[in-house]
Structure 1
Amino acid sequence: MANEVAVPLLPCASIEEIATFYQVLGFHTTYQQRKPNPYVALQREDLQLHFFEIAGFDPEKSYGSCLVLTSDTGELYRAFAAGMRAAYGKVLVSGTPRMTRPRARRNHDGLSGFSVIDPGGNWIRVTQNAAADPPSAPTGRLAKALANAVVQGDSRGDARQAARILDSALAHAEAGDDPVALVEVLVYRAEVAMVLHDPATTAEMLARVDVVALSPDEARRAAAALETAADLAVALT
């Protein structure tokens, strides 16, 4: 049969905390109960997420995850980011909850994706629908390093391995490096540092971004990364 709908059912430590967080992202509560088992159902347009509460649940040990397919990851990210800025004064980039920025995923045919890590430690993985013509593979030393780091940091959640990949790339600058790719690597390294609770490295990377010379066209191509740099600078304060 056609038109079936699957709704993720995810664990959390507090359904009230979960509902408050997702309201920031534009969701509303469609159902909630405390007895016999704490449960909440949330919806934003066609996107539905349901949660159940477990006493003593540790979000840091959660394996909860689901995949959200959309035609425009950038539009959904901007909506979520706007909600975070309105509620918290910044985009949450470290700790739990937090959100990653849309980036091409080498392990998903180069399509854009980002993740929301909610208060329950669940990874809501937002991924662009498959395109008729998949994006070309990254070229250039820095772009390839960034692609590998994103797989580790944003897909696997291994921020330390992502940091090692990026540090290795940044330690061996070459004359032919694309300045836009350099900005993107520096910004991602700054973001990874925030996840690792290393604000000094975040500040160092952002300072290096500020001195990269960009032409008007390069600045346009680096606009998304520069916007993330601005969000990170706010998060530092």
Structure 2
Amino acid sequence: MLTSIIPKLPMRSKAATREFYLTQLGFSDIGKADFDGYLLLKKDNVEIHFFEFKGLDPKENYGQVYIRTNDIETIYQSMLNNNNNIHPEGHLQTKPWGQKEFAMLDPDNNLLTFGESI
């Protein structure tokens, strides 16, 4: 029986990734210890892990996560209020597949898309 999925995304700097997700997106560090080159973050029911990839070229990173929410308008406004950079093509929109979505990039160019069914 499958119970959940936890994406693993690349990061160049554990400190920068941790800082971004904690201060900009409100995640918590759930690592029970300071794992060298590995980071475990969680917010509500969403957990994301990161592995260190110091040689990562952000322009060649295609890491992506789709995060479902039940309050897209509030989350989007919160992102704007926190001065988070919304992806230039990712402002809040209603999509033909029945989702309201917006997207942003983290410091390593991992694409975070937030969506709510309409």
Instruction: Give the TM bin, normalised by the shorter chain.
Output: 0.7 to 0.9
1:1-237 alignment, distance < 5 Å: 1=1, 4-23=3-22, 24-31=24-31, 32-34=34-36, 38-82=37-81, 84=82, 90-93=83-86, 100-106=90-96, 108-109=97-98, 111-129=99-117, 131=118
Q: Which has the higher contact order (CA 8 A, sep 6+)?
A: 2
SS at match of 2:30: strand
CA distance in 2, matches of 1:28, 1:81: 20
The structure with the greater share of residues assigned to helix is: 1
CA distance in 2, matches of 1:44, 1:93: 19
Give the TM-score, by structure 1 length: 0.44
Structure 2, gaps ≥5 residues long: none
Residue type of the alignment partner of 1:20: E
> What is the CA-CA distance between 1:20 and the residue it aligns to?
0.5
Aligned pairs, how many? Answer: 115
Report the identity percentage: 24
Cα distance 1:49–1:74, how it changes in 2: closer, same or farther (>3 A)?
same
Q: Higher strand share goes to which structure?
A: 2
- Any unmatched runs of 5+ in structure 1? 85-89, 132-237
What is the root-mean-square deviation of aligned Cα atoms in Å?
2.1
3-state SS of paired residue (1:33):
coil
Moved over 4 A (4+): none
Q: In the TM superposition, what is the alpha-carbon distance from 1:99 to its structure 2 partner?
A: 9.1
